[in-house]
Structure 1
Amino acid sequence: VLCRYQHIWNIDLRFRPAFLGGIMKATGNRPPAMLPKRAEYLLKDVKRMAKYYQVPVQISASDFQRIIAASTLGAMRFLTAIDMTQPQYLEPLSREFWMRFWSQHEDVSEPENILAVARQAGLSSELAQKLLKMISSPEVKNRLKETTEEALKYGAFGMPAVVAHFNEEHHLFFGSDRLELLGNVIGEKWLGPVPSVPSPKM
């Protein structure tokens, strides 16, 4: 949804790959689906939110175990490598990883799936293979560790986490349902989940 607003609000939207497992461990947080009643609620709420925000997230009770057990470390390292070398691909790559994990229920840790994501996002096979080799390098591992520590410094305890830098202050927003509050803090108007781009003034 923030991608839809990046040309409507006066914002410079930047994606920052971070390792969710590291954030959860450092803060003592637990996946919400580990609480049976909350998992039952989430199942209904995610469906409502998917409809409202018009995003193709699909989840069933059997998916919770898959989500909890899934590793996204390889995907985050791949995104980190692209951020370090070809940042213009960071948004389409992030979107494609999201689609495969939340909508198509694929294992995004498998090398062949990572390469398929890269092809879908427009990367050449040569570049994708080069980036795949980079994910085990100290440089990529250290950069991901740095961005994860930076998220913790801003107060993140889970994902999604949005940090707005405004008027020389930073404001942390957790969750996908805080965009109206984000707009209010930065002085922008919430126009709903699917805003229309204003017509140019004549």
Structure 2
Amino acid sequence: MGGRIDCYVDICSFYSYIIFLDILQNRSLLKSHSVTVEFHPILLGAINAGSGNKPPWALPAKAIYGLYEGRRVLGRFPLVPIQFPADLMSVSLTVLPLRALHFIKRTYPDPEVFTTTLHYFFHSFWAPPNVNMTRPENVAKALSEVPAVFNGISVGSAASDRRLFSKQEVEAIMNGAGFQEMKDLLKETTQRALDQGAFGAPWLWATNDAGVSEPFFGSDRFHFVYKFLGLPYQDVALLPPTDENKAKL
């Protein structure tokens, strides 16, 4: 029992946000089972190009089905404000915020700084009014707003009004995002996912306590992941009718 989950995500990926929220609410349990989780920012557009996959909006049937599936998935997190950007395709090239995340991950020793920033970037992209994170000024503004403690609902409901980064730190992060090292790091991380067989996001690479690794795709494969890692879990099960249901019949 135990192991590791490497989770490759892009903030423009709806299901990356969903899996992030899922792992966030279960990370204490995962830790109790000696499972380490690490998030890796990747560029979804490069994953699609490198694997030959196409985004959902490029296939009409998939886009139509996505409306149903998206509504169902949102029911898992009813308190989290999520709406799709009006033109998701035009704001999906999230290179700059991804490089900024890599800079934060590389620079700040406390992993919570990276996780909180990733959380707020997801929130900024997917919560109304859907911030366009392809624009440098918006990325800088989002960085200046990241709360020291963030629960994913809104900044005002955060446990602290204190901001995570000072003005000088925001400037350093924005400058750092332009370093060649960060450009290379985003490319290398994206390529690592491609080498593992990734064709979309979120992409999971799970390693069990025997050192064996397997890939998992999507935000709804945790029952397979838990089984592979040897963790106790409750699978989906059909229940017998209740007295109330019998009365309706």
**Interval of TM-score (by shorter of Structure 1 and Structure 2):** 0.7 to 0.9
1:126 is aligned, of 168, 189, 192, to 168
Shift of 1:82: 0.7
One-letter identity of the residue aligned with 2:212: E
Shift of 1:68: 1.8
Other-structure match for 1:181: 224
Q: How far apart, CA to CA, are the structure 1 residues paired with 2:212 and 2:195?
A: 14
**Larger % of strand: which?**
2
- Contact (CA 8 Å) 1:33, 1:42: kept in 2 or not? no
Runs of 4+ in 1 over 3 A off after TM superposition: 53-56, 189-192
Identity of paired residues, percent?
Answer: 28
One-letter identity of the residue aligned with 1:97: F
TM-score (normalised: structure 2): 0.70
Q: Cα–Cα, structure 1 residues 53 and 177, in superposed 2: closer, same or farther, change >3 Å?
A: farther
Q: Cα–Cα, structure 1 residues 191 and 58, in superposed 2: closer, same or farther, change >3 Å?
A: farther
Give CA-to-partner distance per residue, 1:134-171, whole Å, 9 cap, x none: 11211111111111111111111111111111121212
Is residue 28 of structure 1 aligned with residue 52 of structure 2? yes
Q: Which runs of 5+ in 1 are unaligned?
A: 193-202
Give the structure, 1 or 2, with the largest relative contact order (CA under 8 Å, sep 6 or more): 2
Cα RMSD (Å): 1.8
Structure with bigger gyration radius:
2
1:3-82 aligned at under 5 Å gives the runs 3-9=24-30, 10=33, 11-54=35-78, 55-59=80-84, 63=86, 66-70=87-91, 71-82=93-104
Q: How far apart, CA to CA, are the structure 1 residues paired with 2:39 and 2:178?
A: 21
Is residue 106 of structure 1 aligned with residue 131 of structure 2? yes
- 2:39 counterpart SS class: coil
- 2:38 counterpart SS class: coil
How many aligned residue pairs are there?
188
- Contact (CA 8 Å) 1:56, 1:103: kept in 2 or not? yes
One-letter identity of the residue aligned with 2:23: L
Q: Which runs of 5+ in 2 are unaligned?
A: 1-21, 147-163, 236-249
